[in-house]
Amino acid sequence: MAYEKFHHVDFTHFSQEKQNPMKITIVGAGLAGVTAAVILRDAGHAVEVFESRDHVGGNCFDEWINGVLVHRYGPHGFHTDNETVWNFLNRFTEFRPTALEVVANTPLGVIPVPFNDVSAGLIGDLSPEHIRDLIFRAYSEKHWGIPWEEVPRSISTRLPERRRSTDCRYHLDRWQGVPADGYTCMFEHMLDGVPCHLGCSPDEWRRFPSDHVVFTGSIDEYFGNTHGRLEYRSLDFRYESEPKRRYFQVNECNHQNPWTRSVDHSHWLGQQVENTVVGYEHPCEWEPGRVRMYPKAFGPNPERYKLYREAASGERNVTFVGRLATYKYLDMDDVIAQVMTKLPYSEAALQ
Ligand SMILES: Cc1cc2nc3c(=O)[nH]c(=O)nc-3n(C[C@H](O)[C@H](O)[C@H](O)COP(=O)(O)OP(=O)(O)OC[C@H]3O[C@@H](n4cnc5c(N)ncnc54)[C@H](O)[C@@H]3O)c2cc1C
Q: Is 325 in the pocket of ligand 1 (CB under 6 A)?
A: no
**Span 51-80, mean pLDDT?**
98
CA 121 to ligand 1 center in whole angstroms: 37
Q: Is 33 in the pocket of ligand 1 (CB under 6 A)?
A: yes
* H or E element at residue 215: strand 212-215
Q: Which residues pair with 233 in a beta bridge?
A: 285, 294
- Atom 27 of ligand 1: nearest residue by CA position: 30
* pLDDT for the residue numbered 345: 52
Distances (CA, A) of 348 to 4, 22, 39, 44, 333: 23, 16, 7, 10, 18
**Span 110-129, mean pLDDT?**
96
- Atom 38 of ligand 1: nearest residue by CA position: 217
- Of residues 344 and 86, more confidence is placed in 86
Q: Is 74 in the pocket of ligand 1 (CB under 6 A)?
A: yes
- Atom 32 of ligand 1: nearest residue by CA position: 30
Q: Is 331 in the pocket of ligand 1 (CB under 6 A)?
A: yes
Contact at 8 Å (CB) between 173 and 81?
yes
> How buried is 45 (Cβ within 10 angstroms: 0-12 exposed, 13-18 middle, 19+ buried)?
buried
**242/273 Cα distance (integer angstroms):** 10
Which positions ≥6 away from 165 have C-beta within 8 Å? Answer: 116, 117
Q: Is 179 in the pocket of ligand 1 (CB under 6 A)?
A: no
Q: Is 293 in the pocket of ligand 1 (CB under 6 A)?
A: yes
Tell me the whole-structure pTM to 2 decimals. 0.93
State yes or no: pLDDT of 346 exceeds 90: no
CA 127 to ligand 1 center in whole angstroms: 35
Q: Is 143 in the pocket of ligand 1 (CB under 6 A)?
A: no
- Of residues 160 and 279, more confidence is placed in 279
330 Cα nearest atom in ligand 1: 19
Contact at 8 Å (CB) between 175 and 119?
no
State yes or no: pLDDT of 197 exceeds 70: yes
Least confident of 18-27, 186-195, 208-217: 18-27
State yes or no: pLDDT of 11 exceeds 50: no
Where are the domains positioned within the chain?
1-56+191-227+296-351
State yes or no: pLDDT of 351 exceeds 70: no
Q: Is 344 in the pocket of ligand 1 (CB under 6 A)?
A: no
Best mutation site among 1, 76, 267, 296 for ligand 1 pocket (most ligand atoms within 8 Å of CB): 76
CATH class for the region spanning 1-56+191-227+296-351 = alpha beta
User: Looking at the chain, how many residues does it have?
Assistant: 351
**Span 132-148, mean pLDDT?**
95
State yes or no: pLDDT of 3 exceeds 90: no
